[in-house]
Structure 1
Amino acid sequence: MKRMVYVNEVDVTSTAIASGLLIGDAHRVSPTANVLAVQVEDPDVLFERYDFSEFSVFSMHPSPELPPIGIHSFSYHERPIYVDSLNVIGASTSAVIQIGGVDHVDSFSRIKHIRRVEEEQ
């Protein structure tokens, strides 16, 4: 699966946290992300350090793989791919924007969000 890809214009505003823009064919894409987001109400308060091992979400096994589904499709592997214009606002947390083909995608993200707010009086 080797094809030429011709792209006239790509405008991507943002990719973040294990995400990317791929142009061309790929055999396997495996973006992964472990994110620990801590939000504090008072920015002057220094918060404690956290470790991924403290939270079970980061050690859980992924759910079993789903069986493949059959879809009616057609492809022209011997012809190049032409894209005039692609406009993407953003892709985040193990997302892939791809112009081309891919055989396997194994993508996952684990996110733990902690909010530290002051108690109401």
Structure 2
Amino acid sequence: MNIRILTLALTLSAGALAPSFAQQAKAVKQTSAKSQLQQDFLRKKQAFPRGDLFRIFDSSLFAEERDALTFLYAYMPTNDLIDRDGAYFLENVRSSLQARQEMPWGKQIPEREWRHFVLPIRV
């Protein structure tokens, strides 16, 4: 009988730990993605050292606005970056954030899908 109790206890313990391992793996993956995003953003910024293409980042931004703009600037086509000013992109970021907050799907859409399919000016 002691073996059954021990087996049950170990099984329950393993089941309780599984979500925390999954959460840790997810956190590591998110940290890695953020690090890659920062590297890609800096690479884009270094490619265009002259002018005021990145001036919008000197303004007062909420954290989620800054994160969204960083994503856009890191991955947008160069012609979009050169063609519009930062205020235009910030306005679009704010509209995308508002849509996520107000639309029924907003709380359900994963961050990755929101960044790739809702946030960009064009897909």
What's the TM-score, normalizing by structure 1?
0.23
> Which of these two proteins has the greater Rg computed from alpha carbons?
2
| Higher RCO structure, 1 or 2 (CA under 8 Å, sep 6+) | 1
So what's the TM-score if we normalise by structure 2? 0.23
